[in-house]
């Protein structure tokens, strides 16, 4: 069995079928000019009123399927934000293994309304335009979403990336990595470091102009096939 796995490990997509055309997400962000107000944000979701004209964080924390305790990650981020009394717009996690545990803990935090002085508004989602507008106004992005690796750096927004969900992905200088998922003190220090930096230069590691046009150009010339093939490197 080992020799079969070793053989499979060297199979790759053929280089001639891989095209680096940039991220459609960032092409959308580059064109989006939507603005968002306090009223538009605070009539959605549940929780506290968060003034987005003052410094606030966007928290986007998803489960990592290889983790065994997803609740500790939620609690560590909540404690770090509480240490700083930094208001947050906290987005609900993706529907993956572990989401139910995270969602339950977030509901408990909302229902218990602990007297910590921390203002949090919980949201399930926003339209792409409104999400981009809110991201532009945020002081820092905290969590393990690709938004902290791609969109936030493109806009120059500082981000704190927690754990290994984005391990191995290209990242710019505006991303501060916290390797330990559950260390609230490390997360606190990372947020403080990023808040001091304000804005970074735009990072374009995932951006290329005319992404959509380039996708269409590639597909219009591609020789399509129904059977999947691998390239042995």
Closest CA to 64 of 56, 72, 55: 72
6-30 pLDDT, tens digit per residue, is 444 444 567 778 889 999 999 999 9
- pLDDT mean over 86-107: 84
Query: 23-206 belongs to which CATH class?
Result: alpha beta
Closest CA to 155 of 123, 122, 133: 133
37-96 pLDDT, tens digit per residue, is 999 999 999 999 999 999 999 999 998 877 777 788 888 999 999 999 999 999 988 777
> Beta partners for 53?
none
Collapsing DSSP to helix, strand or coil, 142 comes out as: strand
- In the sheet with 88-91, reading across from the earlier edge strand, the strands are 46-47, 120-123, 88-91, 57-60, 140-143, 159-162, 175-178
Going from N- to C-terminal start, the domains of the chain cover: 23-206
């Amino acid at each position: 069995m080992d020799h079969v796995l070793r053989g499979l490990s060297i199979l790759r997509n053929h280089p001639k079928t891989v095209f680096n055309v940039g991220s459609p997400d960032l092409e959308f962000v580059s064109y989006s000019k939507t603005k968002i107000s306090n009223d538009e944000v605070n009539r959605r979701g549940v929780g506290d009123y968060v003034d987005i004209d003052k410094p606030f964080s966007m928290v986007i924390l998803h489960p990592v399927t290889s983790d065994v305790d997803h609740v500790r990650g939620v609690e560590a981020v909540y404690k770090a934000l509480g240490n700083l009394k930094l208001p947050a717009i906290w987005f609900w996690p993706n529907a993956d293994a572990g989401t139910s545990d995270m969602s339950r803990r977030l509901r408990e935090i909302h229902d218990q309304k602990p007297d910590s002085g921390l203002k949090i508004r919980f949201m399930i989602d926003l339209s792409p335009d409104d999400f981009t507008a809110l991201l532009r106004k945020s002081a820092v992005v905290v969590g393990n979403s690709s938004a902290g690796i791609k969109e936030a750096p493109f806009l120059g927004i500082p981000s704190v990336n927690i754990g290994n969900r984005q391990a191995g992905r290209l990242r710019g200088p505006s991303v501060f990595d916290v390797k330990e998922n559950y260390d609230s003190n490390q997360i606190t220090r990372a947020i403080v470091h990023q808040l001091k930096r304000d804005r970074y230069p735009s990072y374009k590691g995932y951006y290329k102009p005319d992404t959509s046009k380039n996708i269409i150009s590639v597909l219009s010339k591609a020789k399509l096939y129904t059977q999947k093939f691998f390239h042995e490197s």
